[in-house]
Every structure is written in C-alpha cells, then in structure tokens.
Amino acid sequence: MLQAQADYLAATPIGLMADQPEPWAGSSDVPPAPVKAILENDIRLDEAIDGALHQIVADTESSALAIIQQVRDLHDHASKLVEYLEGSNLTAGNLGKEILVSMNHLVQIADFMQRLPAKMQRDQQSVTSVVREIKELGGLVGDVQAISMQSHLLAINAAIEASHSGSVGVAFRVVADEMRRLAANTGQLATSINNGLARARAAVESGIAKTLSESAQQLAEVSIATESIRRLRENLEDMNQYYKTRFAIVTKHNEDMAGDIAEVLGQIQYQDVVRQCIERIQVAIAARQESFRDALELADRQGPAFAAVPDQLASILAGYLEEEQKHLHSNRSDPADGGAVKLELF
Amino acid sequence: MAHILVVEDVVEFRQMLTQMLQQDGHKVTTAGDGAQATAMLSQVRPDLILTDILMPNMDGVEFIMGLSRSKAGTPVIAMSGGRRSITSEFILDSAALLGVKSTLVKPFTRADLRKAIESALP
C-alpha cells in the first residue's frame, strides 16, 4: 500500500490546469472546459483520499492485530508467572518448616540458658554445705587434740601415782575411770568425725553425680544447638537464594511486561497518526466543498472566475498531496522491518 | 562443532565437562562463576553457554539475567543439582522462565548433555 501510494503521488500531475488545451474544446456536445476540468480534478482528489483511507484501514488493522498479539503475550507471561509463583510456594513452605525446627532447638537452648543461674546456685549451695561440714570436722579435730593432751597429762599423773604404790589404789581407780571416760569421748568424736566425713563425701558425690548427669544432658543440648545453628545458617542461605531467584523471575517478568506494554502503547499512540491523516482529508474535503459552492454560484455566468475553479481544485489537491508526502516518512510500516508499525512520539 | 563457554564453580566437574565437550570436538572456554563469565564475554563470543546456577559470587540466575538484558542472544543451557532445601526442579524451572534454551539436572549423562546441546544450538 505504501508503494502504491508513493507511485500514485509520483505519477499524478498537480492538477489539471484550466488553460491546458482540452481535446473537446470547441465541440458543442462535450462539457464546457472548466466543468470537465473540475470533474477531473475532483476525481483525482477522491482517488488520493481513497488511497489514504485504504492505507489508514490497513494500518489500523495491522495495529489492532499487533495489539491483540501483544496483549495475548502479556496474558501468557502473567499466567506463567502465577503458575511459577504457586509452585515455588511449596519450596518456601519446606524452607519455613526446616527453619521452624531449627528455631525450636534454639528455643530449647534459650530455656537452658535461663535455667543455668538456678543450677549454678544449687551447685554453690552444695559446695557451701561441704565446706561447712569440713569446718565442723576441723573443730572436732581440735577436741580430739584436747583429749589427747588430757590423756597425756593423765598418763603422767598415773606415772606419778604409780610411784606411790601400795597405798594409792583408790587414786589409780579415779585415773582409770577418767581414762575410760576420755576413751568414750574419743570414740564418740571418732564416730562424729566419720559421720561428718561420710556426709561430706555423700554431698560431694551427690553434687558430682548430679553435675555429671546434667552436664551430659547439656552437652547433648549444646550439640543439638550447634547443629541447629549450622542448619539455620544453611536455611538462611537457601532462603536468600530462593527469594533472590524469585525476585529475578518477577523482575524479568516485569521487564518483559514493560516492553510489551510499551509496544502496545506505541500501537495505540499510532492511532493519533491516523487521526491526523483523517484531519488532513477533512481539510481537503472542506476546501473542495467551498470550491464547489463557488462553482455553483458562478456556473450561470461562465466568467473568468468560474474558469478559475479548476485551478482552485488543482491547488487543493496539490496541497493535500504535499501534506501527505510530508508524513509518509514516519508513520508507515517498512517491509524491511518485518512490517511492524513504528512508534512515533508526539 | 561449537564454541562453548562452561560456567561452573566445582573444579572437578568443570574439568570433566571440558573433557567431554572437547572429546565431542567442541572448543571450550571456562569460568568459575557468573562474574568471571560476564568479564569473559567482553572478549569471547561463544556459540553456546553451559552454566551452573548455584555458584559463589555471581550465581547463574544473576548471570542469565545479565545475558538477557544485554540482548546478546547467545543460547544458554542451565544445570543444577539443587541444594539442601532448594530443589533442582525449582532452580531449573526458574532458569527456564529466564529464557534458557535447555536444562540439565545433575548428575547427567554424556547423552543428556549432547541432547541438550543439540536442542540449544540454532
């Protein structure tokens, strides 16, 4: 259509002038020369307008088909994205579950940390108890030393009394009684010391056993916590990769969609070119109607003014074709470009 | 035979791929990650790019996005074995949406590789 219009513009003379010799000049059964010229020029203007209208129809159809295709592509892109996002939500769900498990382990560790001060207090109490028992034993050791000293003195006294043998049997009995009492006290003290030591040993053993038991549990919990922290770090890396990938897809989709929308806007904007073309046609038709009104008024007189009407029409045609020529460069499709209508910004 | 750019961070796998492709008569250029590959593309014009997705520095997704924006039009094959809680299916579906010509789930056979290359090359 573009080539046809260009050929037409190249081949069409700029109006058929009234002063050109007419083949029917001087004959009585042919129309007067101005009338013939008016009709000829009118036909040429109609042909030019018809060509332009055909071009408009073809371009509009091409543009509409392109818009439909691009909107369909947009729909396909959007459907693919929705399908992808729905599918990838499963991966997000699995990631979320794993993170929850790791977080639960960390919560257990946090509980342990909360309990730790109370446990340390208990351990301290056990140690204090052991220290108290040992102090008490220290006091008993002093008593034993005192008894030992007293036994030593009695032994000396007994030795002195022995020197008075024969007459001091009573005194020896008193000393013996005292020695027995001391021995009994010493026995009690020994029992107390043994009991104290047993309690201290029991306290230590109990504390150690409890500490060992708790330490084993804590070691297991720490081991779980270490594994949980490692898993959590991996999960965060995976989550980062997951959302990075998703954002890349959404970004790519939006870029494609923006490109498609720009194409659609270009096609829609092209409709303004059509509007301008129609406006040029309207201007030419209005001018022609004006010339026809002049011709009707002047037809009866057949004077020079009437004879000039073909020139007016020729001028209207020339003006119209000149205007069309100015706009041919930008708004028509180029076969070398795959027939796509080019975007023209206004 | 084609000039193929292999982008893979695991050295052993990169060497194995290079050997397989060279045995099939292809010319091979290699890169350890997306950033290296992007830098290389200013100097070489491969017929095909074979890229891993999960890599350090610039990963395959970012690399493919860059290729897409450059409008270079070089066909791309994406490969991945997934990682922990991210499946290879998710990764390769994503790569497909980014416009790669073909995808390969690790581990794959020499026949799988040949088939993917045949389908990706124009």
For chain A, give the percent of residues with pLDDT over 90.
1
- How big is the A-B interface in CB pairs under 8 Å? 56
Average pLDDT over residues B50-67: 92
Average pLDDT over residues A116-138: 79
Kindly list the domain boundaries of chain A, sorted by start residue: 2-337
Q: Comparing C-alpha atoms, which of A282, A289, A291 is closest to residue A323?
A: A282
Taking the CA of residue A94 and the nearest CA in chain B, the distance in Å comes to 7
Residue of A nearest to B93 (CA): A84
Q: What is the pLDDT of residue B105?
A: 94
Query: Looking at the partner chain, which of B54, B62, B85 has a beta carbon nearest the beta carbon of A98?
Result: B85
Reading the block at residue B101, the tokens are 């010509």
**Residue B113 Ramachandran class (φ > 0 left, ψ -120 to 50 alpha, else beta):** alpha
Instruction: Please determine, for residue A340, whether its predicted confidence score (pLDDT) is greater than 50.
Output: no
Instruction: Please determine, for residue A63, whether its predicted confidence score (pLDDT) is greater than 50.
Output: yes
Q: What is the pLDDT of residues A236-252, one digit of tens each?
A: 888 888 888 888 888 88
Which parts of chain B are beta strand (E)? 3-7, 27-31, 48-52, 76-80, 102-105
74-93 of B, contacting A, C-beta below 8 A: 83-87, 90-91, 93
Whole-number mean pLDDT of chain A? 75
Interface check B56 vs A, CB under 8 A: no
Query: Looking at the partner chain, which of A234, A244, A252 has a beta carbon nearest the beta carbon of B98?
Result: A252
Identify the contact set of chain A against chain B, taking CB-CB distances under 8 A.
80-81, 84, 87-88, 91, 94-95, 98, 234-235, 238, 241-242, 244-246, 248-249, 251-253, 255
Model pTM score: 0.58
* DSSP secondary structure, A59-104, as one string: HHHHHHHHHHHHHHHHHHHHHHHHHHHHHHHHHHHHHHHHHHHHHH
Contact assignment for B97 to A80 by CB distance below 8 Å: yes
Q: What is the pLDDT of residue B115?
A: 96
Mutate to test the interface with A, among B58, B87, B94, B103 (most CBs of A within 10 A): B94
Whether omega for the bond prior to residue B107 falls within 30 degrees of 0, making it cis, is: yes
Residues of chain A contacting residue B93, judged by C-beta atoms under 8 Å apart: 84, 87-88
Q: How confident is the model at residue A324 (pLDDT cuts 50, 70, 90)?
A: confident
Instruction: Please determine, for residue A25, whether its predicted confidence score (pLDDT) is greater than 50.
Output: no
Residues of chain B contacting residue A250, judged by C-beta atoms under 8 Å apart: none
Q: What is the pLDDT of residue A30?
A: 52
For residue A253, give the 3-state DSSP assignment.
helix
Q: Which helix (H) or strand (E) holds A311?
A: helix A309-327
Instruction: Please determine, for residue A331, whether its predicted confidence score (pLDDT) is greater than 60.
Output: no
Phi, psi of B83 (to 5 degrees): -155, 120
Contact assignment for B83 to A241 by CB distance below 8 Å: yes
Residues of chain A contacting residue B91, judged by C-beta atoms under 8 Å apart: 245
Query: Looking at the partner chain, which of A88, A98, A252 has a beta carbon nearest the beta carbon of B68?
Result: A252
Kindly list the domain boundaries of chain B, sorted by start residue: 3-120
Which of A90-99, A171-180, B43-52 tops mean pLDDT? B43-52
Reading the block at residue A224, the tokens are 């779980």
Residue count (chain A): 346
User: What architecture does CATH give domain B3-120?
Assistant: 3-Layer(aba) Sandwich (3.40)
Taking the CA of residue A224 and the nearest CA in chain B, the distance in Å comes to 19
Residues of chain A contacting residue B56, judged by C-beta atoms under 8 Å apart: none
B6 forms beta bridges with: B30, B50
Interface check B51 vs A, CB under 8 A: no
Residues of chain B contacting residue A255, judged by C-beta atoms under 8 Å apart: 69
Taking the CA of residue B94 and the nearest CA in chain A, the distance in Å comes to 7
Taking the CA of residue A239 and the nearest CA in chain B, the distance in Å comes to 8
Query: Looking at the partner chain, which of B86, B97, B99 has a beta carbon nearest the beta carbon of A238?
Result: B86
Phi, psi of A185 (to 5 degrees): -60, -40
Instruction: Please determine, for residue B20, whether its predicted confidence score (pLDDT) is greater than 70.
Output: yes
Least confident of A208-222, A229-243, B88-102: A208-222
Average pLDDT over residues A294-313: 81
Residue where the block lists tokens 């409890």: A210
Interface check B69 vs A, CB under 8 A: yes
Q: What is the pLDDT of residue A233?
A: 83
Taking the CA of residue A116 and the nearest CA in chain B, the distance in Å comes to 34
Q: What is the ipTM of this complex?
A: 0.84
Average pLDDT over residues A270-293: 86
Q: What is the pLDDT of residue A7?
A: 52
Q: Comparing C-alpha atoms, which of A110, A56, A345 is closest to residue A222?
A: A110
Contact assignment for A248 to B98 by CB distance below 8 Å: yes
Query: Looking at the partner chain, which of A88, A238, A245 has a beta carbon nearest the beta carbon of B85?
Result: A238
Q: How confident is the model at residue A166 (pLDDT cuts 50, 70, 90)?
A: low
Residue of B nearest to A231 (CA): B84
Angle, nearest 10°, between helix axes A309-327 and A169-298?
Answer: 160
| DSSP structural state of residue A336 | G
Average pLDDT over residues B19-41: 96
Residue of B nearest to A234 (CA): B84
Which of A12-16, A277-281, B50-54 tops mean pLDDT? B50-54
